[in-house]
């Protein structure tokens, strides 16, 4: 049986709140994804975050 993996989205809300109309780049620069299973993104974007889950 597999184990649970926790994936966490961290948002710098104060920074995003200070931007009137945040762009996708602003959002990427003020958020991050992590997990407790060595997940990563080769290009550093949340969109391409990979977590090995099985």
- CA pair distance 35, 38, nearest whole angstrom: 6
Is 14 within a domain?
yes
Q: How many domains does the chain have?
A: 1
Range of the domain at 12: 1-41
Q: Looking at the domain assignment, is residue 48 inside a domain?
A: no
pTM of the model: 0.77
Task: List the chain pLDDT tens, one digit each, 54 residues.
Answer: 678 899 999 999 999 999 999 999 999 999 999 999 989 999 989 999 999 887
Assigned domain for 24 exists? yes
Q: Give the CA distances from residue 52 to residues 11, 25, 38, in Å, rounded to whole numbers and listed in that order.
A: 22, 26, 8
């Amino acid at each position: 049986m597999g184990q649970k993996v926790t994936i966490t989205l961290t948002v710098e809300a104060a920074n995003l709140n200070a931007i009137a109309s945040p762009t996708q780049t602003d959002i990427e620069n003020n958020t991050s994804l992590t997990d407790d299973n060595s997940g990563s993104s080769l290009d550093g974007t949340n969109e391409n975050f990979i977590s090995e889950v099985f």
